[in-house]
Structure 1
Amino acid sequence: MMKKLDKLKKDYKDTEIPPELGDIVNASIQKAKASRKKRPALKQWTLGAAAAAALFIGSINMSPSFAQAMANVPVLGAFVNVLTVQQLTVDKETYQADISTPAIDGLADKELQAALNNKYIKENKALFEQFEQDVAEMEKSGDGHLGVMAGYEIKTDTDQLLSIARYEVNIVGSSSTIMTYDTIDKENSILITLPSLFKDKSYVDALSSYILGEMTQQMTTDENIVYFLKDESQEGFEKIRSDQDFYITADNKLVISFQKYEVAPGSMGIVTFEIPTDVLDGHLVSDTYIK
């Protein structure tokens, strides 16, 4: 086990996204990028500026709480583990960052495993670099408050499926949250996409119709619930994207997820809808994942 963790740490420090693996997760990376505001090009990853900002790096081999942390590593099926490969923390009076990077270990398909882990590393490096740049600009002006948090939670951990939700919270006055998901068939080492679950694109209309009905029903029964729905006078939700954010629950139900502000006011946060399986009758490729 320690040899595997040593390798993960080395991969984190030396990571370079292999071009031949790009196609495997390119769609996921593009979707995550599209959810963020456009940002300037990032400088080469360094820890120099971070050290000046009292950066604490707790790695899986160096953290004093490593033994306790490893005791809490979730075992997700026969030999598939998810662990925190790096923790980046800054704690100053007006600037805080707490960024946790997950790594998957134990998938039979090592290329898929490496591609996912490299994606997590790359995105969190970019997030921290942007934090450094934003802090530097604020310090020049002598004013500003900034907080960034990123981490993950395991939504599903059956023998068959692993669903990881990764979140990014930016706090500048008010907060914004981005949530992305990866759902993996652990038995067959397959990264499951939403289109791959269905026979054709008709699922978009089927899911959208159900979700629109749920939104309308919720607003009718609770005046505190508000959704942005498209009508003659305003833009709003009409249908899901074909690659809408989703995950699969432990009891094999499909959950569709919307980002904060995507279909509702920020006060409602991340909005999710669990889809009854009978809504998907005739659309699913099989009942392997959704039942």
Structure 2
Amino acid sequence: MKDKDSLKMLKKDYDNIKIPKELDDVVNDALNSNIKYRKYQNKMVIAASLLLVVLGINISPAFAQTLSKIPIIGNLVKIITIKNYSIDENGYKASIDVPKISGLTDKKLEYKLNSEFEKEGKKLYEDFLEEMEILKSDKVQGHSLVESWYEVLTDNEDLFSVVVYTHYAQGSSNTIRKFYNIDKKNETVLSLEGMFKNNDYINVISQNIKEQMRDNMKKDKNKHYWIDDEIKEMNFKFIDKNQDFYINKNGELVICFDKYDVAPGYMGLVEFTIPNNVIKPLLNK
């Protein structure tokens, strides 16, 4: 009964959306096409319909809210780029995408996440502008870049994992990442520490990573990690208790390191997939 009421609300919100004349013309042209072009017509109608849904989500908050409550359809409302901070001026270039998550029942969590996305994106852009002005005043030739974008890593019934990348380039380059793992059923942001019974996971996961490092270097001579080196201070010892991570599409824990964390720069961003049988006894039930 609730689903029927939601569908009625969806139809009402949908009908109240003002359709731009140009889009209306596209739909009418598709419907009035000669039967000879029926396949093309169908594609045009589908494309126009999808555009109407996207337009509805962005123009009408009520439409998006109702849509998110409809089974299956609601799963489409996940994450969009709500804003892009950009500049391209005499060798100084920035492009910063600000994501927005929607569809969570817990609106406080949704608001918290989106506020963080907006705050960090804005600060990144303002910091870049400030640095740009300093370099310009020092008559430094423009050769500075900052980019930020996001990628959905996992999206299933239980989990939504997204990573936000930030890439810097000025002479040398570096890329850092921030991960968000959302438990859909409990509507909480997972932390590595919170997934385990006690701190034993730190040593168990670290030892498994060391084994993988050594095995990878044996198989591929071009790979190198900071382990068993003569300079012991550089050697990888343990993960942080809240090390960056995500859960992949196979339900496996993936431990992540930024550039230079556990290997030379040419190794880039480094990840290790931890077998489920290694950590299963340590997990919270």
TM-score scaled by length of structure 1: 0.71
- Output the amino acid matched with 2:174: S
Cα contact 1:230–1:238 (8 A) shared by 2: no
- Alignment gaps of 5+ in structure 2: 1-9, 14-50, 59-71
Query: In the alignment, does 2:142 pair up with 1:180?
Result: no
Q: How many residues align?
A: 220
Q: Secondary structure at the match of 1:282?
A: helix
Q: Deviations over 1:189-232 (max 9, x none)?
A: 11111111111000000100000010011112211111112656
Partners of 1:256 and 1:200 lie apart in 2 by: 18
Q: Deviations over 1:174-200 (max 9, x none)?
A: 111001100001222111111111110
Equivalent position of 1:119 in the other structure: 116
Partners of 2:122 and 2:52 lie apart in 1 by: 25
Structure 1 stretches of at least 4 aligned residues deviating more than 6 Å after TM superposition? none
Query: In the alignment, does 2:92 pair up with 1:95?
Result: yes
Q: How many percent of aligned residue pairs carry the same amino acid?
A: 36
Partners of 2:53 and 2:123 lie apart in 1 by: 25
Higher-RCO chain (CA-CA 8 Å, sequence separation at least 6): 1
Partners of 1:114 and 1:256 lie apart in 2 by: 27
Query: In the alignment, does 2:106 pair up with 1:104?
Result: no
Equivalent position of 2:226 in the other structure: 228
Within a 5 Å distance, the mapping from 1:1-291 to structure 2 comes to 70=54, 78=75, 80-144=77-141, 145-229=143-227, 233-235=231-233, 236-286=235-285
Higher helix share: 2
- Output the amino acid matched with 1:176: N
CA gap 1:96/1:106 in 2 versus in 1, 3 angstroms = same
- Output the amino acid matched with 2:213: M
- Output the amino acid matched with 2:198: D
Q: Deviations over 1:222-270 (max 9, x none)?
A: 1111111265633121110000000011221110000111011111111
CA gap 1:119/1:230 in 2 versus in 1, 3 angstroms = farther
TM-score scaled by length of structure 2: 0.72
Question: Which region of structure 1 is more displaced relative to structure 2, 169-178 or 226-235?
Answer: 226-235
Q: What RMSD, in angstroms, separates the aligned Cα atoms of the two structures?
A: 2.3
- Larger radius of gyration between Structure 1 and Structure 2: 2
CA gap 1:203/1:76 in 2 versus in 1, 3 angstroms = farther
- Alignment gaps of 5+ in structure 1: 4-66, 287-291
